Structure 1
Amino acid sequence: MKTIADTYISSLKKAYYNAKGKEIWDHFENVKHGASPKDLDQIKPIFPEVPETLLHLLQFVDGTYWKTYGEEDIAFLMLGSDMAEYPYYLLSSEQIIENKNAAASYYSDYIERAYEGVYIDEKITNKAENLKWLHFSDCMNNGGTSQLFIDFSPSEKGKNGKIVRFLHDPDEFKVIANSFEDYLQMLMDNEMDFIEEDNLE
């Protein structure tokens, strides 16, 4: 049975081909490998509610963010956000585990609404001690401008498992989808507009 992750990967491949990125995609498919069951089993105790769809993507490729496959480090653009034409990498299972406390470490003051003029979606909790975010993606400039999280600690107005996009300068935290599945569907509905010939050069 074809999953939404399978459909997404097929759509991504088509977008690469349409953007004259056939060689890039084909090389990627030749060198990459998926996360092992052992790798994925290490995520589940930390994030018991991790979406199966994210695990399916990791089974296809265990990260594209300066990930070593064989003797080659790859930085492969695989995801997008609500910001058109702005691509992101998929973090590996190891990076997801390493970054399990990243949101709480870096963004507690934001979550507590310590700064004026910073937009924070009301669907996001205001209690930093409850923060449970799975960091799964960094933007194309090594995460300095934007990061994506799955939020397992929403406010009363939010939905568990929603996707939060952090944007730097101006800083903001915005909910861009109610689930990881909705997030991938949004990217497909937008015709993978983050994959452009200029971004692949």
Structure 2
Amino acid sequence: MTIKEKLKEAEKYICENFEELGIDDPIEEGYFEEYEQIGGASEVEFEDFEKTFGIKLPEDFKELYSYKNGSGYFELLQCDIEGREINFTLFSLEEMKKVKSYFQDRDALLTDYPDYFTDEVIEQMRDSRIKPYLFHKDWFAFATYLNCGYLMLDFDPDKEGKVGQVIFYIHDPDEIIYTASSVEELIDNVWVFLKENFD
């Protein structure tokens, strides 16, 4: 199945099982109707984004955004991240640009915040796929959970990571968590999570 096909099935699961997912009724609230009106990003929009930030977007990310350039208030990405069930809305490319102007707009290592991250905490958080930053210019938020958690594309992974992997930033207490090796794997995980729970 393609990313688009998996998301179309996911949309159906979400609308039918919103109560179990702990979210508002997307149809009654009008979120799904608004979401249905959202089109995909164009090649020109991808090129503009890449030129603005000097990056090359992964093909699976472009496949996702060719289908939907954002999700509005519809919580499209239902994720299970290390046992935490979290619902994310998808930013549009324009929203990604805006968020980038104030979030992950600088480089700051975990060790730059000794009051918050002791050596012991940093050791507990260590993941050989993710460089030990709290903020990094090469991380791009593309989805949010209530503006306190963000799924991010990682363009500067650590030695066992992969360019284009997906990582999760959560606030209070701040933490960076590996989520998926790619956007395609992320969508596959969303689809499997919904299918296993509601099929």
Normalised-by-shorter TM-score class: 0.7 to 0.9
Amino acid at match of 1:79: L
Q: Measure how far apart 1:88 and its partner are.
A: 0.6
Shift of 1:12: 1.8
Shift, 1:177, TM fit: 0.9
Residue 162 of structure 1 corresponds to 165
- The equivalent residue for 1:103 is 104
User: Structure 1 residues 103, 167: closer, same or farther in 2, change over 3 A?
Assistant: same
Contact 2:180 2:186 in 1 (8 A): yes
Q: Secondary structure of 1:38's partner?
A: helix
Moved more, 170-179 or 19-28: 19-28
Q: How many residues align?
A: 180
Amino acid at match of 1:13: E
Tell me the distance in 1 between the aligned counterparts of 2:77 and 2:197.
Answer: 8
User: Alpha carbons of 1:99 and 1:32: their partners in 2 closer, same or farther (altered >3 Å)?
Assistant: same
TM (normalized to structure 2)? 0.73
Matched-pair contact (CA < 8 Å) for 1:11–1:188 = yes
Structure 1 runs of 4+ aligned residues shifted over 4 Å read 111-114, 127-131, 192-195
1:12-91 matches, cutoff 5 A: 12-19=10-17, 23=27, 24=30, 27-45=33-51, 46=53, 48-64=55-71, 74-83=72-81, 84-91=84-91
Once the two structures are TM-superposed, the CA of residue 192 in structure 1 deviates from its matched residue by 6.4
- What is the Cα deviation at residue 138 of structure 1? 0.7
Unpaired runs of at least 5, structure 2: 19-24
Matches of 1:19 and 1:184, distance apart in 2: 18
Q: Percent identity?
A: 19
Cα displacement string for residues 19-44 of structure 1 (whole angstroms, at most 9, x for unaligned residues): 26573576135432322332222122
Conserved in 1, the CA contact under 8 Å of 2:109 and 2:133?
no
Residue segments in structure 1 that go unaligned for 5+ positions in a row? 65-73, 196-201
Q: Secondary structure at the match of 2:176?
A: strand
Distance 2:170 2:159 in 1: 23
Counterpart amino acid of residue 172 in structure 1: E
How far apart, in 1, do the equivalents of 2:7 and 2:69 lie?
A: 14
SS in 1 for 2:189: helix
